[in-house]
Each structure stands twice: as C-alpha cells, then as structure tokens.
Chain A
Amino acid sequence: MHPAYSVILFTTASGAGFGLLAWLALFGMLGLVPPDRAFGLAGLALALGLITAGLLASTAHLGRPERAWRAFSQWRTSWLSREGVLAVATYIPALVLALGWVILERLDGPFAIMALLTVAGAVATLYATGMIYASLRTIRQWHQPLTAPIYVALGLASGAVLLNVLLRGFGIAHAGFSWLAIVCLIAAAGLKWAYWLTIDGELRTHTREAATGLGALGKVRPLEPPHTQPNFVMREMGYRIARKHARRLRDLAMLFAFGVPVVATLLTLVPGAGTAAAALAALSMAAGLLLERWLFFAEAEHVVMLYYDTEVA
C-alpha cells in the first residue's frame, strides 16, 4: 500500500496526543499528578494540539477536504466514521476537564467524571483508528487481531513517554511514571514483534488463479496489462518494499521506537539526567513511530494486485 504521509503523520501525532490525554486525565483524576494550573495547561495543550494537528493533517489526503464534516455520519458501519465521531466527541469532556484543571485548579466531582470520559474517549479513538485498517479483508497484513491493540498500545506508550517529559520539565517527576513508560514501551514492542511474526508466518492463500477463476486451465500468467502506464489502483495498492529493506527498517523501527526510549527512560532515573533523557526518549520514539507507520503501509499487500503482477496475496 502506498504510504500516505498525511495519514502517517495523523496516526502518529494524534496517537501520541490521545495517549497523553488519557494518562493526564487518569492521573489527574486519581490525584497522582497535582491539579497545577501551568502543568495542566502545558499537558492538555500539548495533547490537544497533537490531536488537532493530526486530525487536520488527515484531511490533507482527501480529494474534497471541504466535505470532511460528512464523515461523521456513517458511524453505524464505518470505522473511519466512528473514529471521526469519537475523536471529536472526546474534545467535549477533555475541554471541560481542561476548564477544571487550568481555570479552577480542581479535578474532583464532575471533573473526575469528565476525566473518566476523556480516558474512555481517547482509548476508544485509538482503537477505532486501528480498526479502520484491521477491518479490511483485502489486506492480509492489516486484517489481523493484533492491528487495533497495537494502535492502542503505541498511542499509550508514546503518551506515557510524553508525560514523562512534561513531568520532568515541571520538576514533579516520580520514578513510577518512568517505570510506567518502560512497561508500556516493552508491552507495545512485544505486540509489534508478535505482529511481525504472525504476518511472516502466515501462508498467502489468495492466488491469481482464484482471482481470475482460470485455475482449471493451469498456472495463470499476466500477458498484457490493460494500460501502458500505472493506473490509480496500481499507484495506490501496488506500492511495495524489497524484503531485505523491510527487515532492516523493522530493526531500525524497533530500535528507535522502543530500544532507545527504554534505555533513555531508564536514564531518567539517574539524578541530573532526567529532562534531557526524557526528551531524547520522546524524539527517538517519534522517529521510530513514523518509520513503523510507514512500514505498516509499505509492507501491506493488497489482494487486487493479483490482477497485475502478484501471484499470491
């Protein structure tokens, strides 16, 4: 599948934003972070800023961005619509929560309920993003039980890494938050590793013979394509990456998205190294996640290419 940069930017930025939002709301509600005005403003502004930037970026891949509002209507059947509805709906409790945190400096009573709704909305949005891909039967590498959980795990892990940066910056860090980020990173890395093992281990079951129905005649080979130049389907669905590059890029994604952030987050526990190490973890993770998301597209093989130059999918 062709990696659409606007979608990659959207899912990584909004993913981290929703992850951070969920952790802020949860720990604010539980009283584990103080209802401090400056911290609340910085944290919620960063989270909502990332979410908003991502959502705006996602409209860049639309042919008719001015009609994007219509995408909120088909939540009964469409995961893309559900994601849009959930993403926008989550703003409501999040903004009320921000009101309590930043203006009133209190997170009890009704604000605690709003915090709970914010957590639920953020996690549900991350899940819906993953389900857009996981629901497509045409793309084996996406139609996997692990696809949606990985979107949630990566969002929460990158959110935890960002939370750690903020807490360090405000000097209210606690070792527990570093350990939370480390646990999230290791869990997300484990899921991603299991995902790669799964898609590598599966047999490709769709054949060109089934696609053309000509299997009774024997092996089917393409003789002439319909057109001399690649069409939309080939440009969009035919993007692929050499396997040897995929291996190396997977290693790099693992290194930058999980390896470096885990080590850097461990370093945050060393007195004096805190803020710089936390920032390094966040920067490395951003690079690693962009690469991971790019690979998620580049490694995805669409069944339709059986009609062109793919033998099995």
Chain B
Amino acid sequence: MTALPHATEKKLGLVIDLDTCVGCQACATSCKEWNTGGYSAPLTDQDPYGADPHGAWLNRVHAYEAGEGEASRTVHFPRSCLHCEEPDCVTVCPTGASYKRVEDGIVLVDPDTCIGCKLCSWACPYGAREYDYGHGVMKKCTLCVDRIYNEHLIEEDRIPACVRACPTGARHFGDLGDPGSAVSQLVAERGGFDLLPELGYKPVNKYLPPRSRRDARSAHPARQGSVGTHDGPAAGGAERLFAWVDRMLSR
C-alpha cells in the first residue's frame, strides 16, 4: 500500500560521517555483494567486461572538493536511500510495490509486484532508486532488512553490510526516532544534517559535517615555526615525524 504510515514505531537509518569517510568504496562493494544475493537479488550488471559497463548499485560514493585554495577540502560522499519520512517515491508507485514499513520506517520495493515503470526514480531527489535493466524492476537500499533481524547471523553482523564493512567507522546504524539512541546522540553532538531539507521529504539518514580544522598552522606543518622543522636541511624525516606525533598527541 503506497499510503504512508502516520508514524513509524522506529526510524531506522544511517548516520554517515563525512569527516572520516575516506572514499574507499568498501561500503558500496560490500552492499553490492550482499544484496546481489539477498532481498534485492539479483543486482544485475550490463556489459560488465565491455566498453560501457554499468549496473544496479544501491550505494554510490562520490568525491567532492569544497572551498577554495588552501582552505579547500576533499570530501568523500556516500549516497544511498535516506528512508525518508515523507518519500514521494512510495506515494507515486501505481502498484503498491513500494511501501514504508510501519514497524521500522524502512522503505522497500517488492520485486514481485514492481512493474518497472521507473516513476519512483523520477520522484526521488537523491537518486536512491535504480532500475535493474536485467531484472526489469526497481532496486534500492533495503537497510539490509535481511541482516538486521537475521538470527542466523552472529550479533555483530546484524547491521547493514555497508556499516559492517566501513574500515574507518564512518557509518553508523540505529534508531533515529529515539532521541536517546547512540546515532541520535551522535547527530546532536556533531550537528548532523539533512540533504536538500527544503524539498520536505524529511530524510531519516543524517550526514555529519567534516570537522573544522583547528587552525591554519596545524593544517600546514611546514609553516609551524614552534617545532622548528621548517627551515633548511636540518629538518630531517625523524624530526618531522616527531612533530607530527607531538601534534597528534596534543589533540
């Protein structure tokens, strides 16, 4: 049923830390690996070894450059379904294949009733829904609904594959509807934000901004006069290393 629930018991979602994401693509490949055999199976690829390889992915990691000159930053930016509270992708669905679960707020597509009209992908501002050219239906992030409640898995694996795979701990999973949950606390602490909030889809997933640099000097060790490593051949590799260790330990 494509009518949205008035409220969901939980608001399960992800918190993605743009400060610590290194753009390694582990979340994206882990997602593809799990989901091509899980709820969304198959996630087909077209022309995989040819000149124009493409396929259905539920998570894509962009890289952006923000700011100018010395102050500019490279930010790796994973993008997947935000499991919005008011997702138009669900309400536009003509068949009822798209739905938002009352119990946890996860937005899902039933691959057995989807007709592949692609209208949901037109309604999503976040590019979260991809048409599977091989399967003829729409695919999207399931928040690993087949992992998080799966008692056949050991406890620590009952989280989305992307969260499990992230080597820097940049992805967090939890109930964003519960203000006391670890993810909600993290969002409050770090000033987590919504993407395109003005559109009114009320995304559940939050992004944490890159931390600001302490000062210009710590960002550019070559200018740091106090440790005396800036001038001439005297500044050896070992001294640079110590200066770096000193700065890291003083944080």
Contact = CB atoms under 8 A, between A and B. Distances in A.
B64 A221 contact: yes
Contact of B91 (A78, A84, A222): A78
Nearest to A137: B199
Contact of A138 (B67, B72, B125, B133): B125
A61 interface: yes
B94 A212 contact: no
Interface in B49-64: 52-57, 60-64
A237 B198 contact: no
B18 to A, nearest CB: 8
A271 B77 CA distance: 69
B113 A67 contact: yes
Contacts of B133: 232
Nearest to A73: B96
A225 B77 CA distance: 10
A251 interface: no
B241 interface: no
A112 B68 CA distance: 71
Contacts of A303: 125, 196, 199
B64 A62 contact: no
B190 interface: no
Contacts of A71: 94-95, 115, 117
Contacts, number: 200
Contacts of A61: 117-118
B245 to A, nearest CB: 28
A218 B62 CA distance: 17
Interface string B47-87: 00000111111001111111110011111010100000000
A73 B115 contact: no
B242 interface: no
Secondary structure dominating the interface of A: mixed
B244 interface: no
Interface in B1-60: 1-3, 18, 23, 28, 52-57, 60
Contacts of A219: 66-68
A230 B53 CA distance: 9
A70 B1 CA distance: 12
Interface residues of B, number: 69
Contact of A220 (B64, B131, B198): B64
A246 interface: no
A68 interface: yes
Interface residues of A, number: 59
A202 interface: no
A64 B137 contact: yes
A135 interface: yes
A68 B75 contact: no
A70 B94 contact: yes
B175 interface: no
Interface string A86-118: 000000000000000000000000000000000
B54 A229 contact: yes
Contacts of B122: 1, 136, 138-139, 236-237, 302
Interface string A214-245: 10111111111111111111011100000000
Given A216-B209, A217-B67, A218-B68, A74 B119 contact: no
A145 interface: no
B209 A80 contact: no
B228 interface: no
A138 B88 CA distance: 9
B2 A223 contact: no
Nearest to A304: B127
A65 interface: yes
A76 interface: yes
B54 A307 contact: no
A210 to B, nearest CB: 6
A120 B121 CA distance: 31
23 contacts: A62-B115, A63-B115, A63-B117, A63-B118, A64-B115, A74-B95, A77-B93, A79-B92, A80-B92, A80-B94, A80-B117, A81-B94, A136-B92, A138-B124, A208-B64, A210-B196, A210-B198, A218-B72, A223-B65, A224-B23, A224-B63, A236-B131, A237-B122
* Shortest Cβ-Cβ A-B pairs, 9 listed: A63-B116, A63-B136, A218-B67, A226-B60, A217-B66, A81-B94, A71-B94, A70-B95, A224-B63
Interface of B: 1-3, 18, 23, 28, 52-57, 60-68, 71-75, 77, 79, 88, 90-97, 113-119, 121-127, 130-133, 135-137, 193-200, 207, 209-210
Given A63-B116, A71-B94, A232-B54, 16 more contacts: A63-B132, A74-B1, A74-B2, A135-B92, A138-B199, A139-B122, A210-B195, A217-B72, A231-B54, A232-B130, A233-B121, A236-B121, A236-B131, A303-B196, A307-B79, A307-B126
